[in-house]
Each structure stands twice: as C-alpha cells, then as structure tokens.
C-alpha cells in the first residue's frame, strides 16, 4: 500500500500557523513512509473562495519546502459529487428535510428546556410523498441529511488518541447539502478521500466527531476509510487558545524574518515528546516522525521560542543557502563573520553597513580614552594587516598602556564599529580593512 496523505485548506484566507502544522505533519508522514502528499483545495464555497488565496497556499507550501506531489480542486469535482449523491439518495442513506432554520432552532430550544440533547428528531423521515410534494409545490426546497445507522457503533483506533467510540444514536443526522444545492464539508471530503485513495488523514482534534460521522459515509460509499490521527490543538504562549494564532501565517513569518527551516523545526516537534532543535535539514525530522510521540495535551506555540530557533538555524546556515538574499557585495567570509550574531537574516545588512561604513561613533568618555585612541591610531598604522590585525593591535596596545579586558577592547570596538557588542573583532577587523579602520580611529579621536 502506498501511503497517501492530503492537506485540504479552504481558500478563504491565508494559511495560519495551525494550518501549517497540519500540512507539515501530513507531509512528514507521507515522506517518512515513502508515500505521496496531496493538496486539495476545498473551494466548494464559491462566495468566499478567492483565487489569490489559492496562489498564496501554493506559495506558502513551496516556501516551507512542502511542495505537494499532486493537486485537486473540489470545484472541479461537482459531477462526481452529484453521481455519489444520487446513489446515496437511491440507497436511502440521504434524505430530504424541509424544516427552516427558525423551525430547527425552535426544536433545539424545546429540547434544551426539557434537558434533552439537541439531536435532530428525524421528523423528515416521517413525511409522506404527498407532504413532500406539497412542500415542493409551495417552493420549499429541501436541505439534505445523511442518515446515520443507529444500530452500528462507531469505533476506530486513532493513531494519536487511541481507541475511539461513538454511539450514532446520540448524534444528529448531519446536513450534507443546503437547500440552494451547495455542499457542506462532510460528504464531499469523504468522497474525495475515497476517490483520491487517501490512506491517512492528520488533522486537529476538533474534527474527532466529524470523523465519527464520516466513517459511516465511507461505509455507505462502499469505500475503505483512511486511518485518522487527531492531534491536539495549538495554544498561545499564555497557555490558552489564542485568536492571535489565527493571524500568524507564512506571510507574517516572512515579514518578520523567520526562516522556513525554523518554522518546520518548531512545528514538527511541539506537542511531541521530542525536543525542539534547530534542525535545518528536513530529513532528520522526517526520520523521527512517529505518532506515538504525540501527546494529548494542547501544544504550546510561542513566537519567542520560534525566534530563538530561528537564530540558531541562521547560525548554522551555509553561505550558499543565503547568498541570493544578502546585501550586494557581501561574500562568504563576511557571512561567516556576522552569522553568529544574527537573529534574523535582515540583521546581516546592518552588520554589512558596519563593515562598509560609515559608522556613527558616540563621543568619548574622557581624555584617557582620547589618548588611548591616539596610541591605537599610531599602532594600527604600523601593524601587519596581512594575518591577524586585531590580535596584533590589542597585543601592542596592552604592552604599551597596561590596559586589559573591557578597558582595552571596548573603546576600540566602539571606534571601529559604533557598537558596544557584535561579531568577533578577529573576524570583523580584516573585513573593515586598514584604511577604513584608520579613518574611524581618527574620527573617533576627533569626536
């Protein structure tokens, strides 16, 4: 059996972090099993679906390194749905119901008042042909419900949650088609999973009850059901479900300078027993992917943790991986010099400006530092710049002045970079070069 997973977003907005995590785990499982990862655009809601969001979904998946092996669109599959729908109506698995939304709401209120669960009473099944014909004559179009088999318990072994059991008689027959003919999520999704040969579905635990209903739809279709893995939902850093998670997506991560490898590394591991590590290559993440490692507790997503992972990812990225996104003229030696100090790749441009200049130098603290920089200027003009100018400069100044530690190094760093902290001066000073260094020391002394 070839493992086939699918990611099925609706193109009504940008992907958010929860969507991305779902897509990632479907992709990782397929890759771990040598299978296929499919993208299905669930665009049955024509009024809300937009082509720009379809393009954005593809772009986001490509950016994350999760290009699908194939793509389907529900809007191109309506003929298949009609065929399956007609067969299920004929077999008695789907029936028309004529209650208005107001009538259904009143029924629920009455049930609540009696302390009963809000389960549809199947009144539509008692209608005679004459009563149905009367509704049709009056222009009342039916909505359509899937008839659950109350005599068959619903059970499956979830790959994360373990044994699951539902009693169909405690659930309402789900509406699968509206009165205007448009489709709801449940039946088209089951039809597509069956037709596309999907073997495994990874999705959020908020879909568990949907799975219970869809298992009976697979049976009615005469199709084998996929195996399901329902993972715990993401929570925000504050420890509860956060609306902000719905606004965090690949576009946001790109805007704030997060690398796709960092997004993958974090979302692959949060909610599992494995540690989050700054892994740049997807292969080790895929190799360790195992549903048995997933916990039932909500998975905590923290932007601060993502930023930390991102920094550690950057510190490991080779020049070839970033060369086309670095400032013009910045080469491999400069990248390796500034890389340990980056939080986002945009920081590389800041350090390139420090190297290229000009730099702004704060006024000196007093006459002692001014005299010290006079000596530094003379020493810098005399040392050998061909090998290790920083050690040559500081060794000579230490011998001449007796300074050491912060008093030795900080005035030099400030004069040469305009900063109190930064990349190792051993690597940075050769990039600044002799002429710029001398000019900066002279300018700092003059300030």
Per-position DSSP letters for 397-427, written without gaps between them: HHHHH---THHHHHHHHHHHHS-SS-S-HHH
243 a known binding residue?
yes
Residue 89 structure tokens = 């109506």
Nearest to 164 by CA among 211, 119, 214, 201: 211
Match 């993440």 to its residue by tokens.
Answer: 285
Return the CA Rg of the chain.
Answer: 32
Nearest to 201 by CA among 237, 160, 260, 251: 160
State how far the Cα of 250 lies from the Cα of 64, in Å rounded to an integer.
Answer: 8
State how far the Cα of 397 lies from the Cα of 420, in Å rounded to an integer.
Answer: 19
Instruction: Give whole-number Cα distances, 384 to 21, 79, 235, 349, 430, in Å.
Output: 54, 79, 57, 29, 11
Residue 402 structure tokens = 């007796």
Per DSSP bridges, beta strands 162-166 and 154-158 are antiparallel
Sign of the four-CA dihedral 354, 355, 358, 360:
positive
Instruction: Give whole-number Cα distances, 61 to 67, 232, 250, in Å.
Output: 6, 22, 9
Strands (E), 193-277: 200-204, 227-231, 234-235
Cβ atoms 148, 173 nearer than 8 A? yes
Match 């490692």 to its residue by tokens.
Answer: 293
Is omega for the bond preceding 358 within 30 degrees of 0, making it cis? Answer: yes
State how far the Cα of 15 lies from the Cα of 53, in Å rounded to an integer.
Answer: 9
Nearest to 157 by CA among 102, 215, 108, 103: 215
Cβ atoms 228, 158 nearer than 8 A? yes
Q: Which residues are annotated as a binding site for ATP?
A: 243
Could you tell me which residues are annotated as the binding site?
243
């Amino acid at each position: 059996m070839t493992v086939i997973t699918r990611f099925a977003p609706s193109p009504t907005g940008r992907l958010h972090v929860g969507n991305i995590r779902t897509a990632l785990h479907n992709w990782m499982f397929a890759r771990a099993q040598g299978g296929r990862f499919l993208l299905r655009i669930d665009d049955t809601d024509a009024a809300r679906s937009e082509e720009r969001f379809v393009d954005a979904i593809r772009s986001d998946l490509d950016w994350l390194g999760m290009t699908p092996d194939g793509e389907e669109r529900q809007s191109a599959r309506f003929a298949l749905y009609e065929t399956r729908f007609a067969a299920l109506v004929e077999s008695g698995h789907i029936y028309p119901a004529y209650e208005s939304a107001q009538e259904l709401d009143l029924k629920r209120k009455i049930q609540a008042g009696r302390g009963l669960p809000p389960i549809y009473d199947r009144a539509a099944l008692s209608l005679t042909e004459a009563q149905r014909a009367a509704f049709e004559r009056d222009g009342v179009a039916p909505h359509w419900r899937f008839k659950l088999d109350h005599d068959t318990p619903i059970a499956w072994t979830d790959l994360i949650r373990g044994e699951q059991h539902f009693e169909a008689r405690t659930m309402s027959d789900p509406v699968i088609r509206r009165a205007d003919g448009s489709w709801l999520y449940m039946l088209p999704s089951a039809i597509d999973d069956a037709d596309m040969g999907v073997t495994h579905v990874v999705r959020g635990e908020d879909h568990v009850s949907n799975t219970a209903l869809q298992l009976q739809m697979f049976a009615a279709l005469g199709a084998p059901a996929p195996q399901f893995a329902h993972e715990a939902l993401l929570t925000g850093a504050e420890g509860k479900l956060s609306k902000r998670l719905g606004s965090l997506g690949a576009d946001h991560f790109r805007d704030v300078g997060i690398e796709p490898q960092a997004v993958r590394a974090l979302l692959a591991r949060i909610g599992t027993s494995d540690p989050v590590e700054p892994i740049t290559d997807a292969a080790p993440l895929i190799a360790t992917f195992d549903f048995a490692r997933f916990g039932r507790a909500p998975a905590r997503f923290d932007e601060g943790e993502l930023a930390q992972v991102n920094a550690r990812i950057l510190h490991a990225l080779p020049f070839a991986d970033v060369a086309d996104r670095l400032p013009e003229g910045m080469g491999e030696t400069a990248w390796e010099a500034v890389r340990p100090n980056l939080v986002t790749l945009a920081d590389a441009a800041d350090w390139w400006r420090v190297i290229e200049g000009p730099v702004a130098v704060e006024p000196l603290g007093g006459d002692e530092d001014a005299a010290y920089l006079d000596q530094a200027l003379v020493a810098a003009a005399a040392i050998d710049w061909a090998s290790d100018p920083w050690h040559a400069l500081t060794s000579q100044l230490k011998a001449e002045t007796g300074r050491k530690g912060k008093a030795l190094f900080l005035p030099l760093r400030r004069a040469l970079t305009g900063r109190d902290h930064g990349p190792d001066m051993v690597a940075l000073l050769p990039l600044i070069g002799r002429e710029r260094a001398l000019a900066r020391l002279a300018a700092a002394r003059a300030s």
